[in-house]
Amino acid sequence: MSDVLELVEARLRTALGEPDARAAVTFLGTDRIEVLRFMDGDVLRYATLGMSAQPMADPTVVVADPLRGPRAELLLSVRAGRADTDKVLRPLAVLAASPQVEGVVVASGASLDVGDPLWPGAPFTSVLVGASGGLVEDLELDEPREPVRFLPLLPMTPNEAAWKRVHGAEALQARWLERGTDLRDPLRTGVALD
């Protein structure tokens, strides 16, 4: 499936420019996941490369279809210079490997938790998966393969994650919008949830 990854990388370069850094992580029993870093003014964008090589499969299915099923890559945008966000590479690779390791299907509205701060000093251990089609357009593949979706990750504080479990992703996003929350601030505090 290297052809898929070549197309994905080309789409990322078209949308975000040339990456200024890249790192690769391999977990036992999984395909290699790369994380590319792009500089866009004062914003760092991290994109996974490798998650879309295979379609995500429902964990209850005995034999996964090698062609059909959702495909995705993850995108994280943070303001540069406020924190050591390059340490997010491993947590991003862990999240990108979760479909292979845990059999989860990552989709818009889902919460993903790494259990530790996303980077040193980060008030976030989890992310909310946003909707695709914004920063990087979906990548259409030949039938019967589904398109690759580029899903933005929105860091959540533990309180925001708990509130989201009760009220839902849309309610949390609406709260962020109402309060003018800068979701790219790597040191932001949690939004008021009263």
- Cα dihedral sign, 174-74-64-145: positive
Q: Give the per-residue pLDDT at 174.
A: 95
pTM: 0.94
Helix (H) / strand (E) element for 75: namely strand 71-79
Interatomic CA distance for residues 113 and 159, integer angstroms: 13
C-alpha gyration radius of the chain:
16
Model confidence band, residue 2 (pLDDT cutoffs 50, 70, 90) = low
Average pLDDT over residues 47-68: 84
The token pair that represents 42 in the structure block: 């004062």
Model confidence band, residue 122 (pLDDT cutoffs 50, 70, 90) = very high
Average pLDDT over residues 171-192: 95
Side-chain half-sphere of 96: how many Cα atoms within 13 Å? 35
User: Above 80 in pLDDT, residue 12?
Assistant: yes
pLDDT digits (tens, 9 = 90+) for 92-118: 999 999 998 888 899 999 999 999 999
The token pair that represents 143 in the structure block: 């039938």
pLDDT cut 70: percent of the chain above it: 97
Cis peptide leading into 144, omega within 30 of 0? yes
Calculate the CA 67 to chain-centre distance.
22
- Cα dihedral sign, 87-89-95-98: negative
